[in-house]
Structure 1
Amino acid sequence: MGGTVKPNSAGADSRAAGQVVLLGCGFVADLYMRSLQATPGIEVAGVWDRDATRLAAFCTHWDVPARDGLAALLARAPNALVLNLTNPAEHFETTKACLEADRHVYSEKPLAMMLDDAKTLHTMAAEKGLMLASAPCSALGEAAQTLGHAIRSGIAGTPRLIYAELDDGFVPQAAYDKWLTESGAPWPYEDEFRVGCTLEHAGYYLTWLISWFGPVRTVVAASAETIPEKEGAGPFAPDFATATLFFDNGPVTRLTCSIVAPHDHGIRIVGDKGVLSCKAAWDNSAKVRFARRINLRRRLMEHPFPQTVRLKQPTHPKVKRWGAAAMNFMLGPVEVLEALRDGRPCRLTNDFALHLTEVTLAIQNAGETGGAQTMTTTCDRMEPMPWAK
């Protein structure tokens, strides 16, 4: 489904191969800038946002160059990777414009709000030989890679069932009006409530799962809005969704997302020999544990003192905790840039981005009667990072 990808025209020029431009400088853009500080060799060659006041505050705080429009942003750095950090409803049109300008794009999630639009972008990228990658990139992080290594190594035996939780607490009662980034961007609560927690957050575990097991064959899901009177202008997306995922080559998985239930970002992989677990999807350094299964005085149980599973260090640059997350948001863009520079396949393929989008939309849009949905897209399993093989 992919097509041949054009290499970066800068060739062996390491400076040009390490350039990015930021399209949009809202709340999430500061998280990318914090990650850039931990990532040597990447230059921000320009930033543009339609909000001139926000653009000025962001560029002043981070000391990066502002541009006066999308055309100028692209023209001033013709070899830079575009990081599309606009609001989700604008992802399709802005990414489309960048692809039409023959630019590789790394998009914040989701790739598009509608599957047909995501497929249009995928087709355009394939026809032009361009990379089209999608966040989140935590599947490239240490915690996800450690779990993947443990699964491949058979520490827990054959995985039989997975439970994954992405519950964020009763967010409508949180003090979100006080959530500000370093450069002063407020948390965009109206947009978050309209887009929905599933489109915003399901990818944090879906990318892990798809990277380990490959494509999802069938999604059996339900979603609902359980808190109807949120602040801001609706209509609002479901604030709860749950799905049972059937993979072509993996265990049955139950994934739940909400901004209602008490905070829980844990994942448990139940195998023949015991349980692998991780409690923090948004922490690249989160501990991975294995509790072997034992019989004690006729009682079947998981060992009360699980062992910690570790990879040899070093792995990748880490970012200190900010708010709820300790994630390096630049792991994805760096993977794209290095693949372009080295002329190798990118782990975050175009097919991966499209399949992630379809699965996520299937979960969010299931409603009360969506039921079983057969996926129309596919992708390959992800090649492990060199330090996780």
Structure 2
Amino acid sequence: MTTRSGPVGVALVGAGVISTQYLKNLTTFPDVQVVGIADLDTERARTAAEEYGVPFSGDLDSVLALPEVELVVNLTIPAAHAAVARAALEAGKHVYGEKPLALDPVEGEKLLAEAATRGLRVGSAPDTFLGAGLQSALRAIAAGAIGTPVAANTAVMNFGPERWHPSPEFLFQYGAGPLFDLGPYYLTALTALLGPVAQVAATARQGRAERVIGSGPRAGTGFAVEVPTHVTALLDFERGATAATTFSFDSALPRIQFEVTGTEGTLEIPDPNTFDGVLRVRGGADEDWRELPVGGTTAGRGIGVLDMARALRTGDPHRASGELAQHVLETMAAVTESAAAGAFRGVSSRCEAPEPLAESWSPLEATLG
């Protein structure tokens, strides 16, 4: 726990596409103060800083040297996540990163060990499970809306991000693909709802060896695919539930599914890549779905950063934790290994279920003075 008081000084590293969502939100939260932006392209960092009224921009070293920076938000590409997080920790800063935590579980373990040695915290996206949709689902399950959870069926399928992303190559490289890019949303939500994963079985395929950029100044440019683009997994959870889930960049029919079936009914849960949505339940005596109330924050990306910043002041655990992200990373690695070996693979790590947010929790209400 820090001895400082008042809003937590935050710096962003990486001024790419996703940074705009973070900056729009973090610059409106009174309990954090964005004081710097770093990027390999320092001109891009300067432009973002000017647009959002951030007082400093530059390269990584110069931003990490700012004494007012307490928490670094790492928005770099997956291949750089571990290196940038390590640099932040070595500079004495807490770090919250975009998913995945690292490219492999060994790197993730090293980061958590380094943070523990230095008395620092690690947090990680996704924070969508803190939004109104999934928090309301947690409350519904806890209240017995479907009895005891037995199984889940989830799927996220589309034709691939090269159609809309102007620089999509990294999404088809090691550390990405549909499993590592979309998987964290679903696996984090499943872990929050059903507890930690114990073992997995999976298959994986690559639909096309080359993709073509479909938008932006480089439209029409081809690039190689390095990872599987259609992954199906069976998950066994330590508490006894199971799940079947599919992650695909090979489907011409976009599809999003998230259902949890219990002994007394089934819960239809909103897209875990969003912070809101419709929550529905259907019990054994119901002739149709019934909509349940949804309450909580819908502020969007960055609420995990805010929850972590507030926890730095109070000493409470933060919810989008490094331990949760490490468990999800190990689960994805086990899925990859299972698909390659054609056999079940265990997941050795365990994590505590994050404490639910109070329905009245507000990102726009100052709590730190």
Query: What is the aligned partner in structure 2 of residue 276 from structure 1?
Result: 267
Aligned-residue sequence identity (percent) comes to: 28
Aligned counterpart in structure 2 of residue 309 of structure 1, from 289, 292, 314: 292
Query: What is the aligned partner in structure 1 of residue 366 from structure 2?
Result: none
Query: What is the aligned partner in structure 2 of residue 343 from structure 1?
Result: 315
Question: Structure 2 CA distance, aligned partners of 1:73 and 1:54?
Answer: 14
1:129-168 aligned at under 5 Å gives the runs: 129-167=119-157
Question: Structure 2 CA distance, aligned partners of 1:260 and 1:171?
Answer: 7
Of 358-367 and 330-339, deviating more is 358-367
Query: What is the aligned partner in structure 2 of residue 299 from structure 1?
Result: none
CA distance 1:54–1:340, shift in 2 (3 Å): same
Q: How many residues align?
A: 349
Contact 1:9 1:79 in 2 (8 A): no
Give CA-to-partner distance per residue, 1:288-323, whole Å, 9 cap, x none.
1001224xxxxxxx632x211125x5x22x34xxxx
Structure 1 stretches of at least 4 aligned residues deviating more than 4 Å after TM superposition: none
Query: What is the aligned partner in structure 1 of residue 218 from structure 2?
Result: none
1:281 positional shift? 2.4
1:233 positional shift? 3.8
Question: Structure 1 CA distance, aligned partners of 2:50 and 2:75?
Answer: 18
Question: Structure 1 CA distance, aligned partners of 2:109 and 2:14?
Answer: 23
Of 103-112 and 48-57, deviating more is 48-57
- Alignment of 1:209 with 2:193, yes or no, is no
Question: Structure 1 CA distance, aligned partners of 2:304 and 2:329?
Answer: 16
Amino acid at match of 1:89: A
Return the TM-score normalized by structure 2. 0.88
Amino acid at match of 1:354: Q
Query: What is the aligned partner in structure 1 of residue 201 from structure 2?
Result: 220
Query: What is the aligned partner in structure 2 of residue 266 from structure 1?
Result: 257
Question: Structure 1 CA distance, aligned partners of 2:303 and 2:332?
Answer: 21
1:12-91 aligned at under 5 Å gives the runs: 13-15=5-7, 17=8, 19-36=9-26, 39-91=29-81
Contact 1:115 1:361 in 2 (8 A): yes
Query: What is the aligned partner in structure 1 of residue 284 from structure 2?
Result: 293
1:190 positional shift? 0.7
Query: What is the aligned partner in structure 1 of residue 227 from structure 2?
Result: 237
CA distance 1:280–1:126, shift in 2 (3 Å): same
Amino acid at match of 1:278: I
Query: What is the aligned partner in structure 2 of residue 128 from structure 1?
Result: 118
- Alignment of 1:329 with 2:301, yes or no, is yes
1:31 positional shift? 1.4
Query: What is the aligned partner in structure 2 of residue 324 from structure 1?
Result: none
Question: Structure 2 CA distance, aligned partners of 1:367 and 1:255?
Answer: 13
Amino acid at match of 2:287: H
Query: What is the aligned partner in structure 2 of residue 373 from structure 1?
Result: 345
Contact 1:145 1:388 in 2 (8 A): no
Amino acid at match of 1:201: L
Contact 1:199 1:361 in 2 (8 A): no
1:337 positional shift? 0.6
Give CA-to-partner distance per residue, 1:22-74, whole Å, 9 cap, x none.
01111111111122255333211100101133223322322323433222212
Amino acid at match of 2:186: Y
Question: Structure 1 CA distance, aligned partners of 2:268 and 2:243?
Answer: 14
Amino acid at match of 1:110: P
Aligned counterpart in structure 2 of residue 255 of structure 1, from 241, 245, 248: 245
Contact 1:45 1:80 in 2 (8 A): no
Question: Structure 2 CA distance, aligned partners of 1:86 and 1:234?
Answer: 21
Query: What is the aligned partner in structure 1 of residue 169 from structure 2?
Result: 190
Amino acid at match of 2:58: D
Give CA-to-partner distance per residue, 1:98-118, whole Å, 9 cap, x none.
111221110111111122111
Contact 1:238 1:364 in 2 (8 A): no
Of 53-62 and 152-161, deviating more is 53-62
SS in 1 for 2:82: helix
Question: Structure 2 CA distance, aligned partners of 1:24 and 1:352?
Answer: 23
Question: Structure 1 CA distance, aligned partners of 2:76 and 2:359?
Answer: 32
Query: What is the aligned partner in structure 2 of residue 97 from structure 1?
Result: 87
1:374 positional shift? 0.8
Contact 2:15 2:44 in 1 (8 A): yes
1:387 positional shift? 2.2
Structure 2, unaligned stretches of length 5 or more? 213-221, 362-369
SS in 1 for 2:341: coil
1:365 positional shift? 4.9
